Amino acid sequence: MTKLKSVFENKKAFIAFVVAGDPDFAACADNIVALAEAGADLVEIGIPFSDPVADGPVIQAADLRAFAAGLTTAKVFELVAEVRKRSQVPLVFLTYCNLVYQYGYDEFFTHCAELAISGAIIPDLPLEERDEVKPIAEAHGCQIIPLVTPTTPPDRIAKIVADVDGFIYVVSSMGITGTRDTINTDLDQLIANIRKYTTTPTAIGFGIHTPEQAAQMGAIADGIIVGSAIVDIISQYGHEAPAHLQAYVKAMQAALPA
């Protein structure tokens, strides 16, 4: 069993997302540790990018704050090293293909291995080009986490989830990230389509931000991913965010089905 799969063992997983370096280096490290201490099962760290095609305004604004604070991809690894002094919480990156390519695939995933980064979500890495990255990542113990959307045809789902050994990121709604008051996608059917081809755990993201939604989505999938709501708390409270993040995580965890 991979480290990522173990996150989902015998429980519903709560996955928290932050933007690396938001609002600054030290505060971001504090926030990640606070999320872990509050019970986040996995923390997804977004590497700021100039053209984040999957991200809505809340996360884009966080990217800009991180850039203003001087964050670079190299500093992201320094940030994780700082977190690792204080927490062994499972971590994955959300990044974009150009960043990994520019850094160098082997060097990027070598650093991931050194810092126990268990996976990478790369929204702009299509299935047809995944084999350029996946073998290198897996050689360093890092799983490439694919995304399945509400419009992905079943025959393509079969190919996307083949030989995936971390988890499947299930996109709840079409469009970009951001909180949503209602999620109207037939996620039961989407998860059922995925289940035809794999037993790899599924986690639903995009839009989830209330305990009620956590309960609803947690009943369908093996875990939930919360991003914009957490980034918004960081935006609101700045260096006072850790206590607010911990209260939020505990409320969301309590809402997940047993």
Taking only the tens place, the pLDDT of each residue in 159-205 is 999 999 999 999 987 555 544 455 667 899 999 999 999 999 999 99
Which one, of 186, 192, 108, 109, lies nearest residue 157 by Cα? 192
* Per-residue model confidence (pLDDT) at position 223: 98
C-alpha distances out from residue 144 to 95, 112, 215, Å:
11, 12, 27
pLDDT, tens only, 24-47: 999 999 999 999 999 999 999 999
| Residue 78 a catalytic site member | no
pLDDT of residue 180: 45
- What is the tens place of the pLDDT at every residue in 41-67? 999 999 998 876 667 788 989 999 999
Counting Cβ atoms within 10 Å, is residue 220 exposed (0-12), middle (13-18) or buried (19+)? middle
Backbone angles phi, psi at 182, to 5 degrees: -135, 145
CB of 121 closer than 8 Å to CB of 96 = no
Q: Which of 6-10, 91-95, 206-210 is predicted most confidently?
A: 91-95
Check: pTM over 0.85? Answer yes or no: yes
pLDDT, position 158: 97
- Residue 177: predicted pLDDT: 55
Q: What mean pLDDT do residues 5-17 have?
A: 94
Element (H, E) at 43: strand 42-46
Instruction: Give residue 187's pLDDT.
Output: 93
Which secondary-structure segment (H or E) carries 117? strand 117-121
- pLDDT at residue number 179: 46
Give the residue-averaged pLDDT of 115-125: 96
Q: Does residue 40 contact residue 87 with C-beta atoms inside 8 Å?
A: no
Q: What is the pLDDT of residue 186?
A: 86
CA distance 10 to 91: 19
Residue 239's pLDDT band (boundaries 50, 70, 90)?
A: very high
What span, in angstroms and rounded, lies between the C-alpha atoms of 79 and 31?
11
Q: What CATH class does 13-252 carry?
A: alpha beta
Known active-site residue 129:
no
- Res 240 pLDDT > 80: yes
Catalytic: which of 22, 30, 41, 55? 55
| Active-site residue (options: 44, 63, 222, 232) | 44
Mean pLDDT to the nearest integer, 76-103: 97
Q: Is the dihedral of CA 176, 98, 121, 31 positive or negative?
A: negative
Alpha-carbon Rg of the chain, whole angstroms? 17
Look-up of token digits 């006072």: 240
SS3 175: coil
Mean pLDDT of the chain: 93
